[in-house]
Structure formats: structure tokens, C-alpha cells
Structure 1
Amino acid sequence: MSARINGKLLTGRHVALMLAAFFGLMFTVNGIFVYFALGSFSGVSENDAYKRGLAYNEEIDLRSRQLARGWQPTLIFEQTGAAQGKLIFTILDEDGQKLEDLDIVATIRRPVIDAKDQGLSLVYDNGYYAADVLLSGPGQWDVSILVYGGDYNEPYRLDKRIWLK
């Protein structure tokens, strides 16, 4: 069967070629999108999410024990250059007194990329703990602080997101 559209003959072969061209274009564009999506982010945000999910109640118990300490942490990031800055961390006990003689370790990482992680030790100086930071570029960074000491066996943990402009 054939039909005439604007004086031109439209056959089944033309319709089949138009459908093949349309779906070919769709598959090509979707393939390009999938290629770039998989190349930019794998979709894995946690290596062992299932086991971490099973241990969620332990995380809640850890958090409640941490809150029972009554500690009051403050983390400030001061940008001092294009790709550098200073982490300033203060921590007070439940009575508002500054805590000294603690071992404080910070891990700085990108929220999505695992390649740029770095660890730092914060040093006590004039009532606060501090460390100079050299970052690989602007954007968002996650800081995880672990505080060891203070007559506790498990570390105190503080997570905060900072921005480097």
C-alpha cells in the first residue's frame, strides 16, 4: 500500500526507514548519556551499604552515648588562599570548660569522589585545635573529626561540610 503526501509517494519502505532512523537516533543519544553518567559517578556511595544498614541501631546507640557526654564542639574553616585554609576546632565539656590533651584526627574528602581523601592531625594551640589544609580545588568537602581521649574508650565524632570558593 502506498499514499501520496504533498505529491510524493510514501511507501512502506519509507515508513520503515523513518522508524529505523528515529529509534537509531534515540539509542545513540541514550547510549551517549549512559556513557557519561557511568563515567562521572558510579552510583556507589557506600562500599557495604547492606551491612551498614544492619548496624544502624548500633549507630543510634553510639550517637546517644556521644550526646550523653555533653560536649560542645565547634568547627570553623577559614579560607586563606585559593586552595588552602585552616581548620579551627574547639570543644567544651558539659560545664563549658575547654578540653585539652585530646588526640584529634580529621579526614577531609569530596562528597562524591574517593580519590582526594586526606588525613590531618589537629594540634592544640591557645585554647583551640588547628591544622593547615591544602585542598585540590574549590567546591564542597566533607570533614570528619575523631576526638580521642577525655576518659572515654570510643572516639567522639563530628561530621561537617565545608566549602572552598
Structure 2
Amino acid sequence: MTPLLQNLTRDGRWIPWLFVAFFLVIFTVNGIMVTVALSTWTGLTTQSHYRDGIEYNRRLAAVERQEALGWDVAYSSQTLEGGTLDFAVAVTGSQGQPLYPDRVHVAFVRPTSEGFDSSHVLQLRADGRYGIFVKLPLAGIWDARVTVEEHGRRHQSSQRLFVAQ
């Protein structure tokens, strides 16, 4: 054994180097994790977060107006052959009567990734429901955000759905 190794082993001078090595590993792993975290997701779910915060009370009033309408929006979705989604919406009024609004709109939003969202206007079907056949680009979880408009009144709701391929 060389004299240097004998001195390190006998005197215990190698123990502080274990602490240095330990903390170097910790700092390296933390640095990698911070870099990955900052480069993969912005953390923002909306581009107008400041304005949304200021308009919070106005949004609460809109929710109260929507609830006062008494509309019921029922969804149905089915994945057909080839991954095509049959999405339909039935709208009923406060007394349970079917409503035929001026416009029914759906936005399909992928909650786990950006760049795949799509927006569609639903068409009235023979059975009184509004619907669309759409091929979404990815299988999995989607949020269907439906907006119903009738004579200047608006009802917004959302439904989480699973699309098989």
C-alpha cells in the first residue's frame, strides 16, 4: 500500500471527502430536476390570469344567472369504429321541456398536453339532440366544454370523457 493511502486510512482523513461527495451528488440531482421542471411546463393554465382574477366577481354573477335559468344539459358520447367519437347534447328547460337553442358549441380540450384542442358547432339531429361525429387526434382523457346559447342567454358546462382508439 502506498504511504498516502496508509495515512488516509489510519488518520480517517477520507471521512470528510464522503460528505463532499454526498452533497455533490445531491446538488447535481437537484439541479437536473429543477432544469427539467422549468423547461417542461409553464405552470400557467390561461394567458389572461391577471384579468381573470380581476373579473372573478363578474364570473360568480354569471354562474348565478346560469343556475337561475334552470337548464339541464345532458351529454352522451360513444367511441365508434376507427376511433370516431359520437358526441351529443340534449338541452331541457326548467320544466323539463326540450329546448332548441340558437347555437350549441363544444370545445374538446386535452388536459394533459397542449396543441390538440379543437372547437366545433353541433348540429341538430332528428332525435332533438345536438351532436357531432369527430375524430380526435389522441386516445385518452378529454374535457368537452359545451356552450349553449339561446336568445342572448348562455349556459356553460363541461364533461370529462374517455376516448378509445
Which interval holds the TM-score relative to the shorter structure?
0.7 to 0.9
What's the CA shift for 1:10? 4.2
Q: Residue 82 of structure 1: CA displacement?
A: 5.8
Q: Give the partner amino acid of 1:135.
A: L
| Unmatched 5+ stretches in structure 1 | 1-6
Q: 2:143 is matched with which residue?
A: 142
TM-score scaled by length of structure 2: 0.82
What does residue range 91-130 of structure 1 map to in structure 2 within 5 Å? Answer: 91-126=91-126, 127-130=128-131
Length, aligned pairs only: 158
Say which is worse superposed, 51-60 or 35-44, in terms of deviation: 35-44
Distance of 2:77 and 2:33 partners within structure 1: 37
Identify the range of structure 1 (122-131 vs 33-42) with the bigger mean alpha-carbon deviation. 33-42
Pairing of 1:8-157 with structure 2 (within 5 A): 8-12=9-13, 14-81=14-81, 83-126=83-126, 127-149=128-150, 151=151, 153-157=152-156
Which residue is 1:3 aligned to?
A: none
1:132–1:117 CA distance, 2 compared to 1 (3 A): same
- Structure 1 residue 38 displacement after superposition: 3.1
Q: TM-score, normalised by structure 1?
A: 0.82
Q: SS of the residue aligned with 1:159? A: strand
Structure 1 pair 83–36 and aligned structure 2 pair: CA distance change class (3 A): farther
Instruction: Name stretches of at least 5 consecutive residues in structure 2 with no aligned partner.
Output: 1-7
Q: Would you say the 8 A contact 2:79–2:86 is kept in 1?
A: yes
Specify the code of the residue in structure 2 equivalent to 1:76. S
In 2, Cα distance between equivalents of 1:10 and 1:58: 73
Which structure has more helix as a fraction of its residues?
Answer: 2
